[in-house]
């Protein structure tokens, strides 16, 4: 069998493993959010504290993601060191998650939640850093796309999974998801595509052009885009659908955004390589702004479904372009830090959304109109920020120094 065939099979296996890891990681969050009120009640924690716990989770995710990303930069000289580190911490994370439904003590429950929240960071920034540092450079966009594809599929089945799991013993889904995720993490540490001896050298040899947008401009644009995504999907989508459909139909309608995302995410990797990450980011943000604006103008369910589908494709452009840009900006050994910052922004945006919903701001007439317009305004602002930053027409980005 030729070396080319072996390499193709190895990369295909790597993509499948990355898909599984990110899919299962997102699925554990769905399970956790669904059963947290029940777990808190068992442990004697007031239901009113559940929102505070979810907000604490996001703070821990943000801190843990940056710390894990920075640590991955220090131990990433060899695939074996980084892969084994990810696997070891992931097993600890899965063990903590497995034990959550077994405890009825408030202190122990909170300790396990903190341990799980911090250790789960090993499966975010370090995994993408593993791809950036040790996969053959031409395959990085495709492998990153497969990782995000896993997140997208988990998002698509989230409403269905939530509906199916209601009323069952939480120990069952916690056990299944944690064991499956631990196995996937262990498999990731043995993927041969990341152990190619010259992969790191190939990555280090990539040439980049100066004059790219400053890192602060890219991170600021991403912060705006991620907040727009949170408001659009978690706050605005359900009310938009309820203008035309019953609540029982949301299980089938809410995944439309993620279907568009999943169908768009793999081709976007080609676009990033072809025309550059920043151009793809700007195009996706502009398309997202247009679709978010049309959500409020849709005159029928059919039109709304089409708009949400293309909004999902727009988010695929923004998300993958952002991850590709973060990898390029950190190309000289700072990939983990840049990716940690990226995931930290996602966590902070989620924190902001949870706080806004907890304060019932979307239902407050004084804020409702402004929040409804936030997605298209923020996506548009993200596009304009990069559009007027220097370096839009650079084919590649300048690495961190």
Could you tell me the mean pLDDT of each successive run of 10 residues in the chain, 401 residues long? 60 87 95 96 93 96 92 73 86 96 95 96 89 80 90 92 90 95 90 57 41 73 95 95 93 94 90 86 96 94 97 96 85 82 94 94 92 96 86 48 44
Burial of residue 331 (CB within 10 Å: 0-12, 13-18, 19+) is buried
Q: Among the three residues 204, 227, 259, which one is the final residue of a domain in this structure?
A: 204
Helix (H, G, I), strand (E, B) or coil at 136: coil
Domain containing residue 373: CATH number: 1.20.1250.20
From residue 270, give the alpha-carbon distance in Å to each of 142, 208, 264, 277, 300: 8, 18, 11, 10, 34
CA distance 321 to 327: 10
Q: What integer pLDDT is reported at residue 400 of this predicted model?
A: 46
If phi > 0 it is left, if psi is from -120 to 50 it is alpha, else beta; for residue 136 that is beta
Same domain, 92 and 240: no
Measured distance CA(226)–CA(319) in Å, rounded: 9
Domain boundary among 147, 170, 204: 204
Residue 106: predicted pLDDT:
96
What is d(CA 338, CA 69) in angstroms, rounded to the nearest whole number? 8
Q: What is the pLDDT of residue 3?
A: 55
| Residue 165 domain-assigned (yes or no) | yes
Tokens, residue 282 = 């700007």
Q: What is the pLDDT of residue 132?
A: 82
What pLDDT shows up at residue 75? Answer: 74
Decide: 276 and 208 in contact? Cβ < 8 Å: no
Domain that holds residue 196: 3-204
* Shared-domain flag, residues 230 and 250: yes
Give the count of domains, the chain. Answer: 2
| Cα→Cα distances 184→14, 86, 250, 344, Å | 11, 11, 31, 23
pLDDT of residue 2: 52
Is residue 210 assigned to a domain? no
């Amino acid at each position: 069998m030729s070396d080319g065939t072996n390499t193709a099979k190895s990369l295909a296996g790597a993509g499948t493993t990355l898909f599984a890891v990110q899919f299962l990681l997102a699925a554990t969050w769905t399970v956790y959010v669904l059963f947290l009120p029940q777990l808190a009640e068992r442990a004697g924690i007031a239901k009113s504290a559940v929102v505070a716990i979810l907000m604490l989770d996001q703070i821990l995710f943000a801190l843990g993601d940056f710390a894990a990303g920075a640590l991955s930069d220090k131990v990433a000289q060899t695939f074996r060191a980084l892969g084994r580190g990810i696997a070891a911490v992931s097993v600890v994370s899965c063990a903590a998650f497995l034990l959550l439904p077994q405890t009825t003590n408030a202190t122990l429950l909170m300790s396990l939640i903190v341990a799980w929240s911090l250790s789960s960071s090993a499966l975010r920034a370090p995994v993408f850093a593993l791809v950036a540092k040790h996969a053959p450079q031409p395959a990085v966009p495709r492998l990153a796309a497969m990782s995000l594809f896993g997140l997208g599929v988990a998002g698509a089945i989230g409403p269905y999974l939530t509906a199916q799991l209601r009323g069952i013993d939480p120990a069952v889904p916690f056990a299944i998801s944690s064991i499956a995720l631990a196995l996937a993490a262990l498999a990731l540490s043995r993927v041969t595509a990341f152990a190619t001896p010259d992969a790191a050298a190939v990555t280090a040899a990539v040439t980049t052009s100066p004059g790219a947008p400053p890192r602060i401009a890219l991170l600021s644009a991403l912060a705006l885009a991620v907040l727009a995504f949170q408001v659009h999907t978690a706050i605005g989508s359900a009310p938009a659908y309820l203008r035309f459909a019953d609540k029982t139909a949301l299980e089938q309608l809410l995944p439309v955004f993620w279907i568009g995302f999943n169908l768009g995410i793999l081709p976007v990797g080609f676009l990033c390589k072809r025309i550059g990450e920043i151009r793809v980011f700007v195009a996706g943000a502009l398309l997202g702004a247009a679709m978010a604006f049309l959500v409020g103008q849709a005159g029928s369910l059919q039109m709304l479904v089409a708009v949400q589908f293309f909004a999902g494709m727009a988010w695929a452009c923004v998300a993958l372009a952002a991850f590709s840009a973060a990898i390029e900006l950190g190309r000289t050994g700072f990939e983990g830090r840049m990716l940690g910052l990226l995931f930290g922004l996602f966590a902070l945006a989620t924190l902001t959304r949870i706080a806004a919903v907890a304060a019932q701001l979307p239902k407050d007439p004084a804020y409702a109109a402004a929040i409804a317009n936030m997605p298209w305004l923020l996506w548009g602002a993200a596009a304009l920020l990069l559009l007027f930053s220097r370096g839009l027409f650079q084919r590649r980005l300048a690495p961190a120094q």
